[in-house]
Structure 1
Amino acid sequence: MAGTKVQSEVPKTRQRPIVRLGVLLISHSLLVSVLCCTAGVLALLLLPVLAKNTYISENALMPGSASSMLSNQEVSEANKLIKDITSLYSKPSTAAIESRRLIAQYMSNLGAEVNYHKFHPQPNEFHPLHFFSSPDAGMIQENFSCASYGVNTVGVIRAPRGDGKEAIVLMTPYNSVNGDLQEALPLGIAYSVFSLLTQVTWLAKDIIWLVADSQYGEYAAVAAWLRDYHTPVFSDLSSLNTELCHDSSYILDLKENSNLERKISYEFRRSGTMAAALVLKVAYRNEVEDTLSIFAEASNGQMPNLDLINIVNYLAVHRQGYRVKVEKVWSLLNSKWLKILGEIFESLGKFVKSLNPDWKFGIPVAEYIEGTATLASSLYYQAIGVPTGPHGAFRDYQVDAITLEISPRVSFNNKDRRNDFLLQGGRLIEGVIRSVNNLLEKFHQSFFLYLLTSPSKFVSVGVYMIAFALLVAPLPVVAASLYAETHNLIPTSEKEKSAADDELGSVIRSWKWLNSAKRVFIVHLWGAMVSLFPYFISQIPNCTPTTNFHVWFLLSVFSLVILKWILGSPFSQLCGLQPQEEWAILKSVTISSFFIGLCLMSVINFATAEIGALLMVPTSLMAHPLKLDVRGGRFLRFSRAICNLVLGVISFPPATFFILKGMFEGYSGINAGDFWNWVESLWAWNSATYLYIGMVHLPCWILCVHVLLHPC
């Protein structure tokens, strides 16, 4: 139609829902941070309430399905072994020699294949290239002392129904130099079980009894044997050792007993893949009842399959009448704030139950306090990455292993009670071995990532990762918000959207964040350098831990001053940033790098990432120049400055260590050397937590302090 004006409207482009959600979160980053951090801490405190009862996932285990076959006959033979060993203590000069020969003879009399394993103990030393790598091969060095060698005694029972491709290891540490009755009792328990297993017909897996020479440390002896077990040496080391050590015949006097010579040798005895390993120890703690303590944490937070702990707990409680214990943070049991929190959760549980009886929430106050103390211990020992016993050496080779420490309610000198004690402990070990013997494959059905709140309750990774996810969720949101606010990228109306899109391209091309990224990168390099300082400091002779700590601190500060001079050079002004833009972008890049570091650490050791997020996320989110807060003169700004100072002190690694140590153990005996000793244990055991502290946590803390002290 002529004269008709056709007006065409340009259709509005609508953003995708995910983009709109991202813009919404970024524009309300403060609210998101408060809600997520509060929810993360609350989720962490709720873990004892959300813990589930343990259960046997692998039906083939069938713990307790068969009656125990261990009788008083095996116990009497075990008592004879204990008596013979303890009688050697009156001859300290020859006790070590004779006790090894005696144990080997008892093993050999049962028909087992017996051999001695000589090893040279390797002290744990810090080396920057040994993280995440296997230990050295342990070859004989040119300069050595024959007296410094340890000797393990190993007995192997071949399974009548097996093919030699699988084995179960029973390990008992024994100090042949300073042995006592407490050291001899585990040998008696293990010997009674070993004697029984030579007679049964149902055995489908070989049994290896390792009597580890613990005079140089339990872990060192087991680690040396496992290293040689999995790394065969194709040379005649037995003859080499005999030629080099003229007194090596003291271990086995070939002239006195030719029959024993034919049964025992230095040739390394092997079996197949290890299905599981049990470390048996005995300790007298003046308990009210017979107790069994379970230690499961291995290096870098590794845990055995939960089914192994479950069958031990089931057999110990329901078959042998033990009170099973796991480690706790004992100081939390008397915590008043924890009691108040438990009362709140208990009241909430009663209220929820009144609404619907089928809803189960809340636990008694006493159970919550004990569960929290156990959870804190489990989280701590997983986080530091140091094994809690010699079972950690097995876990390094992906063998499920735990340490069992039995504590009787009466003294070891009570001979009438000793038979019952040996029978009770032997039947527990027999039941566990019988359950593992039923497996047709390795443990895989149950959990490998979990936290214990009691011997019969656990929190799986699917539950406790929620707290970590909530804690770290604000980090990318705040980082994006800071960057967007600095460059005015958050549109406030429909009219500004197109202008913001045009500006986005120009900002990306400007690379204004490059200066801050350079600073963050250099500070992380400084963190790596600080992590290497102890390697050189440890070479200084005759230095106390306190002196080493002071030297480490001074070197770190001196290197930081040099970096500060580099960061303050004219090169830092190339991008032409305003002061208010500079600190905001620096904080944004810092938070981004910390988020990446936490996510990487969660893959290596989740417990370390959880504790690191709890300490450092609030510090990094609240970091704001103190000069601006003080200049503002408002109460909220002044409160934020105070919170920043408090969080800055708490999140500093040495301060965190001393605060926690003082809370749990008291402040009376604290000195600077304690922190050095603690860190030394981390690097000596190649703990990834040491790398996290030096290369993630400390650089992030330094950058946050830099933001706080920024001269706006």
Structure 2
Amino acid sequence: MAEAEQVVKPKPRPIIRIGLFLISHSLFVSVICCTAGIVALLLLPALAKNTYISENALMPGSASPMLSKNDASEGHNFVNGILNLDSETTKTGIEIPELIAKHIVELGGEVNYHKFQPVSNKFHPLHFFLGPDAGVIQENYSCSSYGINTVGIIRAPRGDGKEAIVMVTPYNSVKITTGQALSLGAAYSVFSLLSRVTWLAKDIIWLAADSKHGEYAAVAAWLRDYNTLSFGDLNLYPEMCGVSTSASRKKSQVKQDTISDGFRRAGTMAAALVIKVADTSTEFEKDVLNIYAEASNGQMPNLDLINVVNYLAVHGQGLQVRVEKIWSLLDSWWLNSLGELIELLGKVATSLNPQGRFGIPVADYVEGSVTLASSLYNQALGVPTGPHGAFRDYQVDAITMEISPKFYSTERVLFLLRVGRLVEGVIRSVNNLLEKFHQSFFLYLLTSPNRFVSVGVYMIAFALLIAPLPLVAAALFSDASKTKLGKDKVPLKPAPHGESIPTFTSWKWLYAAKTVLVVHLWGAVVTLLPNFLYQIPNSSPSTNLLIWIPLSMLSLFFTYVLSGSFSFFSTSQPQRREWALLKSVTVAAAFIGLCLMSVINFATAEIGALLLVPMCLTAVPLRHDLKVNTMRALIRGACNMLLVFVGFPPIAFLLLKGASDGFGNVRFGDFWNWAETLWAWNSATYIYICMVHLPCWVLCIHTLLHQC
């Protein structure tokens, strides 16, 4: 009867049993996952797929180019006119905008000038994720301080004015180069053709951006006003520089009443192309087209736009297309050795399964790796690689096309014809779209102009790297709890069915959570310190960095004192295992920070995981390893010291810079310059370094120095 009344405990669910098994073997799982994550990252170039056009409506190359040699010749004459203006000794800075406006009016287009002031790139800690500062300098301004963009618009004969395609040609109105003049000539040739065609369904906007204050600043200023709701004219600076007013236009070479005093708009932008011509000739046998696509905080345009440009450039105009690479890695012995190993493994796999395609040649793997590293770095940096980044801030797909001619001084007409037909083909493909780009990928890494790694592939490496973090946090917390229950003899609480449940009356984990929270709040203080250091006049980057580091350490000391976190260093018996709780909460905080960063900028989270995860997982008090005094403990202690040294953000940056550019070119103040670039562009990477990576680094040192 007693046996019948005995209550049988139900078995836990399979998912719970699997979780308990993984937690109990967290060390083995951590080693396997971290190793697999690094291997998966190294295999990404071999896993890259060929690009393809996802949107059938684009139909690149389906129509023959209409741009003729006469159009290219007119563009060449336009280039000569600009260069002749630039050679004149007396200049007011408005000759080139007026010449561009005159030719646009002759083609039947609409024209307006857009005046803007230079952007002040200062440190604004509260303006992150909003793009570079949109403020303007309003003190001591003069006529020469204004930039003057010239905007031409062609209304589509088959459109309703709701969509537009933008061509951007940056040029320096103070001292224009031959390459900038050629880019204006190519855009003028295309604009001349599009003013006559009947198949246009989207308006065409030609933005001749005055880049004397920076290419990005000129484009961003125009986009800001374009997307600003306003009523009436936007003649913000009347009678200022002799431009854009009726009185001044009487003296200009443009006819009166042909240029609007207000801000002219077209439809919603479907895509944008930034056209640039390099000022130096290429050493290759063909004209080279360099594509720049990275925007702020790792944003990328739809892959279909790059695919269309690559297809038309290679198959239509015979150009050699390139994307940016880290050239210093091409000759690295370890990368070539790894490529040989992957090629050998691919041959073995192919011999076992002849129908499958495995492996990749060494040359392709090395080139794909250096391109992938460049794509990963540029996305993680969070700084746009060209003025196209200003469009991406408004969710407009845009890229920068920089063409390097084979022969710079001759065959200009043929060069303009080739570039013009390429731009015409891209515009014609985008013109076919009935909706915005959406079919292809927005999250990807390039390994070549025609090969890419999608988010579904490269996220595997990141997932494997961070997978051990929650397991280790749970295992440490469980071990610390068991230790307390054994030492402190926690009383048992009676359960409803007569059982006894241990009550965890010790809340020491709250002290660990408080320490982690305080250190992360200190990270916010470190983030704001450059706002004050930036006010020091005539200070060098090395001086600023030397002040930033001691101030950060001093603020950390006061933060610890005020919060009472130094109690963790006590040698009293009940706190001998508090480092496990501290490490548990630290690992959990690192996991949360990396996951949040992966939503904002996946590349930053990927690189951060490579540095942060091993450091957090291996951190153990050094006194513990010294007491054990075994070879394994000594190796672990040495690894901890090495990981902490490499994990310090300035050291990590200087080591990476030295590996890529040579240690002879590394200066101590380079980290300050790099950090200054991040906060000037409001890159989320700066927030991650100061408020996630650096606090976790400090907490790892806290764990290493803990009494045990």
Q: TM > 0.5 between the two?
A: yes
1:347 is aligned to 344
Say if 1:512 and 1:577, in contact at 8 Å, map to a contact too. Answer: no
Say if 2:281 and 2:407, in contact at 8 Å, map to a contact too. Answer: no
1:60 is aligned to 57
Deviation at 1:90, TM superposition (A): 1.9
Cα distance per residue 1:433-477 (max 9 Å; x no partner): 000000000000000000000000000000000000000000000
2:489 is aligned to none
1:406 is aligned to 403
Cα distance per residue 1:613-651 (max 9 Å; x no partner): 011100000001111112211000000011111111111
Q: State the secondary structure of the residue aligned to 1:675.
A: helix
Say if 1:115 and 1:153, in contact at 8 Å, map to a contact too. Answer: yes
Deviation at 1:382, TM superposition (A): 0.3
1:424 is aligned to 418
Say if 1:629 and 1:638, in contact at 8 Å, map to a contact too. Answer: yes
Once residues 190 and 444 of structure 1 are traced to their aligned partners in structure 2, the CA distance between those partners, rounded to angstroms, is 27
Aligned-partner residue type, residue 527 of structure 1: G
1:278 is aligned to 273
Once residues 205 and 408 of structure 1 are traced to their aligned partners in structure 2, the CA distance between those partners, rounded to angstroms, is 30
Cα distance per residue 1:202-242 (max 9 Å; x no partner): 0000000000000000000000000000003446552x623
Once residues 246 and 513 of structure 2 are traced to their aligned partners in structure 1, the CA distance between those partners, rounded to angstroms, is 63
Label 1:577 to 1:17 Cα distance change in 2 as closer, same or farther (>3 A): farther
- Residues 233-252 of structure 1 mapped to structure 2, 5 A cutoff: 233-234=230-231, 236-238=233-235, 241-243=237-239, 245=240
- Residues 522-537 of structure 1 mapped to structure 2, 5 A cutoff: 522-537=518-533
Cα distance per residue 1:42-64 (max 9 Å; x no partner): 00001001100000000000000
User: Are 2:437 and 1:443 aligned?
Assistant: yes
**Alignment root-mean-square deviation, CA:** 2.4
- Residues 200-239 of structure 1 mapped to structure 2, 5 A cutoff: 200-234=197-231, 236-238=233-235
Say if 2:117 and 2:146, in contact at 8 Å, map to a contact too. Answer: yes
Label 1:628 to 1:573 Cα distance change in 2 as closer, same or farther (>3 A): closer
2:79 is aligned to 82
Aligned-partner residue type, residue 527 of structure 2: S
Once residues 292 and 251 of structure 1 are traced to their aligned partners in structure 2, the CA distance between those partners, rounded to angstroms, is 42
User: Are 2:385 and 1:385 aligned?
Assistant: no
Deviation at 1:11, TM superposition (A): 2.3
Label 1:603 to 1:431 Cα distance change in 2 as closer, same or farther (>3 A): same
- Residues 169-568 of structure 1 mapped to structure 2, 5 A cutoff: 169-234=166-231, 236-238=233-235, 241-243=237-239, 245=240, 253-256=248-251, 260-283=255-278, 284-288=280-284, 289-411=286-408, 413-414=409-410, 417-488=411-482, 506-507=503-504, 509-568=505-564
Greater shift in the superposed pair: 532-541 or 296-305? 532-541
Q: State the secondary structure of the residue aligned to 2:435.
A: coil
Say if 1:515 and 1:575, in contact at 8 Å, map to a contact too. Answer: no
Cα distance per residue 1:459-517 (max 9 Å; x no partner): 0000000000000000000000011111228999xxxxx9999897522x432200000
1:495 is aligned to none
Cα distance per residue 1:263-313 (max 9 Å; x no partner): 113311101100000000011243222110000000000000000000000
Unpaired segments ≥5 residues, structure 2: 487-491
Say if 1:97 and 1:250, in contact at 8 Å, map to a contact too. Answer: no
- Residues 605-684 of structure 1 mapped to structure 2, 5 A cutoff: 605-684=601-680
Q: Would you say how many aligned residue pairs link Structure 1 and Structure 2?
A: 698
Cα distance per residue 1:148-195 (max 9 Å; x no partner): 110000000000000000000000001110112111000111111100
Once residues 575 and 54 of structure 1 are traced to their aligned partners in structure 2, the CA distance between those partners, rounded to angstroms, is 61
Label 1:488 to 1:425 Cα distance change in 2 as closer, same or farther (>3 A): same
Label 1:491 to 1:500 Cα distance change in 2 as closer, same or farther (>3 A): farther
Greater shift in the superposed pair: 395-404 or 565-574? 565-574
Say if 1:222 and 1:393, in contact at 8 Å, map to a contact too. Answer: yes
- TM-score after normalising by structure 2: 0.95
Match of 2:116 among 114, 119, 123: 119
1:13 is aligned to 10
Once residues 184 and 423 of structure 1 are traced to their aligned partners in structure 2, the CA distance between those partners, rounded to angstroms, is 15
Cα distance per residue 1:633-683 (max 9 Å; x no partner): 100000001111111111110000010111111111322211100000000
Once residues 270 and 293 of structure 1 are traced to their aligned partners in structure 2, the CA distance between those partners, rounded to angstroms, is 30
Q: State the secondary structure of the residue aligned to 1:173.
A: strand
Aligned-partner residue type, residue 278 of structure 1: L
Once residues 499 and 21 of structure 1 are traced to their aligned partners in structure 2, the CA distance between those partners, rounded to angstroms, is 28
User: Are 2:99 and 1:102 aligned?
Assistant: yes
Label 1:359 to 1:142 Cα distance change in 2 as closer, same or farther (>3 A): same
Greater shift in the superposed pair: 573-582 or 154-163? 573-582
Aligned-partner residue type, residue 384 of structure 2: P
Label 1:503 to 1:394 Cα distance change in 2 as closer, same or farther (>3 A): farther
Say if 1:89 and 1:180, in contact at 8 Å, map to a contact too. Answer: no
Greater shift in the superposed pair: 550-559 or 693-702? 550-559
Deviation at 1:123, TM superposition (A): 2.2
Aligned-partner residue type, residue 469 of structure 2: L
Aligned-pair identity (%): 62
Deviation at 1:7, TM superposition (A): 5.4
Label 1:39 to 1:249 Cα distance change in 2 as closer, same or farther (>3 A): closer
Once residues 253 and 77 of structure 2 are traced to their aligned partners in structure 1, the CA distance between those partners, rounded to angstroms, is 24
Aligned-partner residue type, residue 552 of structure 1: W
Deviation at 1:26, TM superposition (A): 0.8
Aligned-partner residue type, residue 275 of structure 2: L
Aligned-partner residue type, residue 185 of structure 1: L
Once residues 181 and 625 of structure 1 are traced to their aligned partners in structure 2, the CA distance between those partners, rounded to angstroms, is 63
